[in-house]
Amino acid sequence: MLVAMTTDTPARLLQLLSLLQTPREWPGGELADRLGVSRRTVRRDVDRLRELGYPVQATRGTDGGYRLVAGKAMPPLVLDDEEAVAIAVGLRAGAGHAIEGVDEAAVRALAKLEQVLPSRLRHRVSTLQAATTPLTLGDGPTIAPETLTVMASTVAGHERLRFAYRDKDGSASRRLTEPHRLVSTGRRWYLVAYDVDRADWRTFRVDRVSDPFATGVRFAPREPPTGSAAEYLRQSIHRRQETYAFEVRFAAPAEQVAARVPAWVGVPEDDGTGGCVLRGTTGDPMEWLAVRLAMTGVEFTVRGPGGLVECVRRLGDRLTRAANAGPEGAQGAGGPSAPQVP
């Protein structure tokens, strides 16, 4: 934020810090002109920033110059309005989907940022978010960013969280929890929490949560039985579903296939013959995995299990019948085409 010229030292320091955070070197004379002070005052202000932990580097010369460099610790960051809005919108877009690499830390950052945003900037963020629609490649459900930020705030603040929950069979309930961690699997967000009413640990799919409410009641943190929230979730999912191992060979290099297969499905490995092999274990329906493999657009061969081989065969037969069924399926090159994206 650019602060009007003033003799107020704190405001001037904020303005100086905002300028220095621009990735360039600032001549001392230019900083003095921007701040409306003498070069000596600029030097004193730089010394104050250094005392606060900001690594300001000075260069020698006729005019001298200053730049902010990377340090061992991260002091408070100063953002102008446009930067704050851009970061908040970006974090919201990522938080709404369980995208690999956008994990609990990003959600915590969003919660902290939105907590300190002025109301006028929060309104701009909400307006921009409502006016845009992301085109995502993920297979998981979308989640309101507000839901994640409320949860992240209660996790960080050790505050009891109440919410409505819809189970897999559709039954609804109200839950009072002591939230421990938010965990992203790459497809979905989960909350690992201690269920107060049931006096036991539970995992909750966040896309089935509604009306999350921070009660304001603090609690003493406790650890799940496994010690790790990620491990507790893994064991919980494993207990609830039957898993199976699969192996698929693709007629393309691993790098090409990896770009078309979510990492949570598995990581392909080159087989030395120009192709690659994908091995993994999943509890997803075989029909779903068959479709996901076909969506890669790469020739592949299923080596196992037999049930997956049969699912791929049925899918191929079904698509062939659909392509050959009636005049609509026979339009081929002469029929209507899909909308083209420039």
pLDDT in tens, 274-320: 999 999 888 777 888 899 899 888 999 999 999 999 999 999 998 88
| C-alpha span between 21 and 71 (Å, rounded) | 13
26 vs 125, higher pLDDT: 26
- Mind listing the pLDDT tens digit for each residue in 217-252? 999 999 998 888 888 888 887 776 667 889 999 999
Q: State the Cα torsion 133-207-189-113 to the nearest 10°.
A: 60
CA–CA separation, 109 vs 87, rounded Å? 10
23-27, 36-40, 49-53, 89-93: which is most confident = 36-40
Banded model confidence at residue 187, pLDDT cuts 50, 70, 90: low
* 110-154 per-position pLDDT tens digit: 676 766 677 777 777 666 655 554 544 445 566 777 787 788 878
pLDDT digits (tens, 9 = 90+) for 249-273: 999 999 999 988 877 778 899 998 8
**What pLDDT does 75 receive?**
63
User: Pairing mode, if any, of strands 209-218 and 159-166?
Assistant: antiparallel
Confidence class of residue 339 from pLDDT cuts 50, 70 and 90? very low
H or E element that contains 287: helix 286-294
Alpha-carbon span 31 to 276, nearest angstrom? 57
Lowest-pLDDT range, 14-18, 39-43, 247-251?
Answer: 14-18
Mean pLDDT of the chain: 78
Q: What is the DSSP letter of 148?
A: H
Helix (H, G, I), strand (E, B) or coil at 24: coil
**Whether this model's pTM surpasses 0.75:** no
CA distance 225 to 234: 13
